[in-house]
Structure 1
Amino acid sequence: MLYLLPLLLAVLLTVLALRRADTRRRGLRVAAGLLAAAGLALTALPPTRARPAAAPGATTAVLLTPGYSSDTLASLLARLGPGTPLWRFAPTTTTAAPDTPTFHNASAIRAGLPGLRRLHVLGQGLPAADVAALAGTALEAHTDAPIVGFRQAAWEARPTLGEVWTVSGSFVAAEAGPVWLRLHAAGTVRDSVRLPRGRGEFRLRFTPRVAGRAVYALEARGNDQPVAREPVPVEVLAAEPLRVLLLAAAPSFELRFLKNYLAGRQYAVALRTGLSRGLTQTEFLNLPSPPALGNLTPALLGRFDVVLTDAATLASFGGGETAALRTAIDNGTAGLLLLADAPTLPRQLPAGAGFGLQARPAAAAAMAQGLRWPEAPAGATALVPATLRPTEGLRPLVSLGAGGQAVAAARRLGLGTVAVSTITETFPWQLGGQVAVYEAYWSRLLGAIRPPRPAALSIAPLSHWPRPNAPLELRTTGATTGPLTITEPTGTAVSATLRPDAQVPEWSTATYWPAAAGWHEARTGAARQWFYVYASGQWRGPEQPHWQLAAAQSAAAPTVAPATVESLGAGGMAGREAWPRWWGYVLVVMGAGMLWLEEKL
């Protein structure tokens, strides 16, 4: 019916114009009536037309990040067209450029360009964590040149006080030439390495002597000029003292030096030494209420974490003592280290079938041999009377420098660990001033048999390189008793809501947006965790592969919804749109005005 109203109006106005007695300007009256009727039709029922697909500039934009090339930008704009939106990414307001509109986070990009379908990113790229905020947008990375400086780096974020700590990675200089890499810690240079060609892998070591948080630094220098410098935050933890039970068949320098060394590290130590048949001597250090060191019983073993003994003592155990020791190891409440000072291993050794001694020739056993293990200091040598045959499930701990045969190895037994060492004299390292070798060796062996600790409530950041103005996921493990609270470097406390994990009930995650670089403390219940947030320009090299992978995955994902695809017609049309109604209003006013004016004339 709506279609007939304009037609009836046109017929009515035409008939009225023709029936007037005055025949002058009859054609003008008919034309004015038809014009008014046409305007009414356009107003009530505006026609539609095919809408062409949006121009490239409306759905495509260029984003500049630090390190972009002006030549690449000029070439890209020539290909996309001069109307392509050009933006700059600056994570902080202090780095914003006044000549180009600037985004400070990925969410602002989506809000500022709602119709964006493809984003060309020039330079070093976006933080990998920001890619999720641009879901549905194809990201095309234009990496002009690889980032120079530290390309990869890895270190233990929470090292133990007194243990050797390492930082390793790779470095690439802008120009070929020798470069020195230095590790700054505790106010001075602790280790350095020279890269003759200005590129390659590195490994630097340091033994922390003070517990607490610290920010070490990796520095690269070429031609006596600084080339790059990156922070290395660590939280040095005080060593958790072990409770050690030493059992010896006879007095020895080896256990005497070991007892004093462990006691100096605040370990709780109990020593039982055989003097003659039926006569023993006991010593206790750092044990306020020492137990009676008679036969091994479950109650006695429950008071110690590690049992260290020699072959003669282990061979003297009865059936009850052997069963108690095996049960403690199997339950994960104690670990066992045997000093194999006899040609054969005692049959009482738990999991003894997995160990096998292989005697060395007398001439070779009388000469000190070089030893190696991960993080072993230089100059580790000792007398090696025998080696351990490799068997399935055996994990070497210390090996000969030449030949690689294991001289100390461990294997699992239930939840615990049993280890055997054929090196029976390490005290010469103490006498010779090789304290670092002594500490590293015993830290290696005792750490291998340390019983596992029960899992407690913990907090961990899921990103290796958190940055300001980028989302950071924090995961808690264990039962939580309240919200997650983050204390920023300024002292401001921020609360984050924990979300239970759908797959692992013990996990919960929270999203936090750091506002500043520096140390942050996360707390929930009794759990505490410090984590470091890097400034926007720090450690860009290791993060670049993550950004490139995220950008490639975004480019491979579909960017147009199925409903939009169905609405696209042939010839690149994106649907239909109605003509503006104001055209009809204009025609109605013009037609009515002409009729009124003609009647007055």
Structure 2
Amino acid sequence: MLYLLPLLLAVLLTVLALRRSDTRRRGLRVAAGLLAAAGLALAALPPSRSRPAAAPGAATAVLLTPGYSSDTLAALLSSLGTGTPVWRFAPTETTAALSADTPVFRNASAIRAKLPGLRRLHVLGRGLPAADVPALAGLELHPHADAPAAGFRQATWDARPTLGEAWVVSGSFAAAQAGPVWLRLRAAGTVRDSARLPGGTGAFRLSFTPRAAGRAVYALEARSSGRALVREPVPIEVQAPEPLRVLLLAATPSFELRFLKDYLAGRQYAVALRTGLSRGLTQTEFLNLPNPPALGSLSPALLARFDVVITDAATLASLGGSETAALRTAVANGTAGLLLLADAPTLPRQLPGGAAFGLQARPAAAAATAQPLRWPAAPAGATALVPATLRPATNLRPLISSGSGGQLVAAARRLGLGAVVVSTITETFPWQLRGQPAVYGAYWSCLLGAARPPRPAALSIALLSHWPRPNTPLELRIAGATAGPLTLAGPNGATVAAARRPDARVPEWSSATYWPATAGWHEARVGAARHWFYVYAPGQWRGPEQPRWQLAAAQAATTTPGVAAAAAADAPPTTAGHETWPRWWGYALFLVGAGLLWLEEKL
């Protein structure tokens, strides 16, 4: 019955328009009346059409993530069809900031709940967090990444450097437009190092030597034409150096070991020095070493009190069979490392693992000329006399090279749990005489670090994510058989306890999941172990996140296809819906028709 009212209204308006004595604009009056009647009909009884349900097992959807391209979306919808559902992934944005015409997913777990028949998901933009990808295991994920956003693509650095040692941050940068870009490392309130990328894109390497222990947040800046492009935080926790226990064995007095002894003692290392004076007569000296042992023959008990043994070729060649066996066992067991100063034409046969090392003597004229030395984080001006070089070998780890040809002058070899280091540089004390303490310290830090045996902590905490973010699950691994919960404290001081899950393969390991709420420094504690880590704000370090998402999506695509089939089988069937014509179209048509009737009567 309601459908007859608009028809009767249209008939009435048409009759009134035709009965008027004025025959001018009669057609306009009839058309305006019909338009007004049609508008009222659409407003009161808007038409609707059925929306077919998604076919189970063949549903396809599009998910928009930050940084997507509208052109990519238009091209994808033209190939998939305009009826393909489009959703937006926005876990942190407010509702007011989002487009009202696109439904929103706040987390990846809700995708299957709202789209139970989903089989293929096309993801546009920078992608999902890698931690959310396992929730979509079994789906066909199709990333559609546009060109990576301008900024730092990759960056690596030591998050726990040692005080006084050179620290390096390296990676790659890409600018939006071609042109020179300056990259700067800002630490302790000022610029410490910089690098220029002529084309705006390329690799970089910046270094700085921390001067104070504790936590700090450095910054990587990119500038072009005096304009700041991007600024990213670089958090580190500078560790106070742990003093080593060093045993120096010299066949004769030398300036080399004298300067080395004073340098190590100045860094609070425990030093024991045994110097041969004549046959059967030796001199001993102890620095920072309470209750010093007797420096007679090398024994397992004596070697257990030191971390590194530094000796020359003549002293090593004079060792007896029992001393050689004790030294080899100490290195293999990880009790002590060995550093040999190769000051003889040949290497002693008593050298543990000596078959891997081979000396090559240099001509006298070449050996009398100082050569530049190169090693990671080597300061400028590192030159020294090179009397011999080492032959490269597959089981040797290069440490220091010299000359333009990169000839090997110091290398290390793993022997059991320990390491043996051989260096052909026999005179480094001139660096101290020339006022180059930075070169001297960096050189011996490189050698001692390679010879030092590993000291695994009885209890430690490690992060399994390089870029933790707020409201994203963070996995932590606890190494060590210690009972008790894992306690975490955020920047505001609030603490939470996380349950630990034992590892099925390594009994000494356990893991826990933590959801940080805010960015900044967080502390994890379990037993006597403490570990500080930094949580990045949502907009920081987005460049390295995109490769992690693509890798996670590729791994999810290789999971068992039965996971998606089982999820679809357990899901309730989808039902058809209805789409109703907007009522404002009817109101607009009625106003236009009524307005024309009023205007025509006034003319």
Give the TM-score normalised by structure 2.
0.80
C-alpha distance in 1 between matches for 2:399 and 2:417: 18
C-alpha distance in 2 between matches for 1:144 and 1:359: 56
Moved more, 216-225 or 341-350: 341-350
C-alpha distance in 2 between matches for 1:382 and 1:514: 51
C-alpha distance in 2 between matches for 1:320 and 1:577: 85
Which of the numbers 454, 461, 470 marks the counterpart of 1:459? 461
C-alpha distance in 2 between matches for 1:156 and 1:204: 12
- Residue 171 of structure 1 is matched in structure 2 by 173
Could you tell me how far 1:53 is from its partner in structure 2?
5.2
Could you tell me how far 1:74 is from its partner in structure 2?
4.2
- Residue 69 of structure 1 is matched in structure 2 by 69
SS of aligned partner of 2:523: strand
Shift in alpha-carbon separation, 1:78–1:340, aligned structure 2, 3 A = closer
Give the AA of the match of 2:63: L
- 1:255-334 pair list within 5 angstroms: 255-334=257-336
Contact 1:183–1:216 (CA under 8 A) maintained in structure 2: yes
Give the AA of the match of 1:335: G
Moved more, 377-386 or 61-70: 61-70
Shift in alpha-carbon separation, 1:435–1:562, aligned structure 2, 3 A = same
Give the AA of the match of 1:226: A
Shift in alpha-carbon separation, 1:79–1:285, aligned structure 2, 3 A = same
Which of the numbers 423, 430, 433 marks the counterpart of 1:431? 433
C-alpha distance in 1 between matches for 2:510 and 2:495: 20
Give the AA of the match of 2:71: D
Contact 1:140–1:555 (CA under 8 A) maintained in structure 2: no
- Residue 124 of structure 1 is matched in structure 2 by 126
Query: Structure 1: where are the runs of 5+ without partners?
Result: 1-50, 568-573, 579-601
- Residue 403 of structure 1 is matched in structure 2 by 405
C-alpha distance in 2 between matches for 1:97 and 1:356: 68
- Residue 89 of structure 1 is matched in structure 2 by 89
Which of the numbers 527, 530, 541 marks the counterpart of 1:528? 530
Contact 1:106–1:131 (CA under 8 A) maintained in structure 2: yes
C-alpha distance in 1 between matches for 2:535 and 2:327: 47
Q: Give CA-to-partner distance per residue, 1:72-127, whole Å, 9 cap, x none.
A: 34444555566655443333245862433544332344445455444333322211
- Residue 193 of structure 1 is matched in structure 2 by 195
C-alpha distance in 2 between matches for 1:175 and 1:516: 34
C-alpha distance in 2 between matches for 1:551 and 1:384: 52
Shift in alpha-carbon separation, 1:454–1:169, aligned structure 2, 3 A = closer
SS of aligned partner of 1:476: strand
- Residue 209 of structure 1 is matched in structure 2 by 211
SS of aligned partner of 2:97: coil
C-alpha distance in 2 between matches for 1:564 and 1:254: 72
Shift in alpha-carbon separation, 1:108–1:470, aligned structure 2, 3 A = farther
C-alpha distance in 2 between matches for 1:292 and 1:95: 75
Contact 2:53–2:575 (CA under 8 A) maintained in structure 1: no
Shift in alpha-carbon separation, 1:114–1:213, aligned structure 2, 3 A = farther
Q: Give CA-to-partner distance per residue, 1:499-525, whole Å, 9 cap, x none.
A: 222222222222222211111111222
C-alpha distance in 1 between matches for 2:425 and 2:567: 74
Shift in alpha-carbon separation, 1:492–1:117, aligned structure 2, 3 A = farther
- Residue 38 of structure 1 is matched in structure 2 by none
State the percentage of identical aligned residues: 79
- Residue 99 of structure 2 is matched in structure 1 by 99
Contact 2:460–2:480 (CA under 8 A) maintained in structure 1: yes
C-alpha distance in 2 between matches for 1:115 and 1:453: 53
Which of the numbers 485, 496, 499 marks the counterpart of 2:498? 496
Give the AA of the match of 2:313: A
- Residue 508 of structure 1 is matched in structure 2 by 510
Give the AA of the match of 2:550: Q
- Residue 54 of structure 1 is matched in structure 2 by 54
Moved more, 213-222 or 474-483: 474-483
Shift in alpha-carbon separation, 1:548–1:391, aligned structure 2, 3 A = closer
C-alpha distance in 1 between matches for 2:123 and 2:164: 46
SS of aligned partner of 1:540: coil
Moved more, 534-543 or 84-93: 84-93
- 1:35-46 pair list within 5 angstroms: none
Give the AA of the match of 1:333: T
C-alpha distance in 1 between matches for 2:393 and 2:564: 58
C-alpha distance in 2 between matches for 1:199 and 1:272: 55
Moved more, 390-399 or 448-457: 390-399
- Residue 373 of structure 2 is matched in structure 1 by 371
- Residue 13 of structure 1 is matched in structure 2 by none
C-alpha distance in 1 between matches for 2:326 and 2:555: 56
Shift in alpha-carbon separation, 1:177–1:296, aligned structure 2, 3 A = same
Give the AA of the match of 1:292: A
SS of aligned partner of 2:258: helix
When the two structures are aligned, how many residues end up with a matched partner?
Answer: 522
Could you tell me how far 1:566 is from its partner in structure 2?
9.4
Q: Give CA-to-partner distance per residue, 1:545-575, whole Å, 9 cap, x none.
A: 12123334545664885579999xxxxxx99
Shift in alpha-carbon separation, 1:98–1:322, aligned structure 2, 3 A = closer
Shift in alpha-carbon separation, 1:391–1:134, aligned structure 2, 3 A = closer
Shift in alpha-carbon separation, 1:80–1:152, aligned structure 2, 3 A = same
Could you tell me how far 1:330 is from its partner in structure 2?
2.5
SS of aligned partner of 2:478: strand
C-alpha distance in 1 between matches for 2:338 and 2:558: 54
Could you tell me how far 1:419 is from its partner in structure 2?
1.9
- Residue 245 of structure 1 is matched in structure 2 by 247
Contact 2:150–2:176 (CA under 8 A) maintained in structure 1: yes
Moved more, 545-554 or 555-564: 555-564
Contact 2:54–2:117 (CA under 8 A) maintained in structure 1: no
- 1:518-557 pair list within 5 angstroms: 518-554=520-556
Give the AA of the match of 1:345: L
Give the AA of the match of 2:129: P
- Residue 480 of structure 1 is matched in structure 2 by 482
SS of aligned partner of 2:543: helix
C-alpha distance in 2 between matches for 1:577 and 1:148: 44
Q: Give CA-to-partner distance per residue, 1:463-488, whole Å, 9 cap, x none.
A: 11111112221112221311222212
C-alpha distance in 1 between matches for 2:95 and 2:220: 24
Which of the numbers 357, 360, 365 marks the counterpart of 1:358? 360
C-alpha distance in 2 between matches for 1:358 and 1:71: 64
Moved more, 80-89 or 497-506: 80-89
SS of aligned partner of 1:333: coil
Shift in alpha-carbon separation, 1:95–1:512, aligned structure 2, 3 A = farther
Which of the numbers 375, 385, 388 marks the counterpart of 2:387? 385
Shift in alpha-carbon separation, 1:223–1:416, aligned structure 2, 3 A = same
SS of aligned partner of 2:484: coil
C-alpha distance in 2 between matches for 1:212 and 1:564: 49
- Residue 33 of structure 2 is matched in structure 1 by none
Structure showing greater radius of gyration is 1
Q: Give CA-to-partner distance per residue, 1:262-302, whole Å, 9 cap, x none.
A: 11211111112233444333222111222222232222222
Could you tell me how far 1:421 is from its partner in structure 2?
1.3
Moved more, 238-247 or 122-131: 122-131
C-alpha distance in 2 between matches for 1:316 and 1:95: 79
- Residue 16 of structure 1 is matched in structure 2 by none
Contact 1:93–1:104 (CA under 8 A) maintained in structure 2: no
Contact 2:117–2:568 (CA under 8 A) maintained in structure 1: no
SS of aligned partner of 1:270: strand
Contact 2:137–2:564 (CA under 8 A) maintained in structure 1: no
C-alpha distance in 2 between matches for 1:337 and 1:261: 16
C-alpha distance in 1 between matches for 2:96 and 2:536: 19
C-alpha distance in 2 between matches for 1:72 and 1:530: 41
Shift in alpha-carbon separation, 1:434–1:526, aligned structure 2, 3 A = same
Could you tell me how far 1:377 is from its partner in structure 2?
2.2
- Residue 230 of structure 1 is matched in structure 2 by 232
C-alpha distance in 1 between matches for 2:277 and 2:96: 78
Contact 1:457–1:478 (CA under 8 A) maintained in structure 2: yes
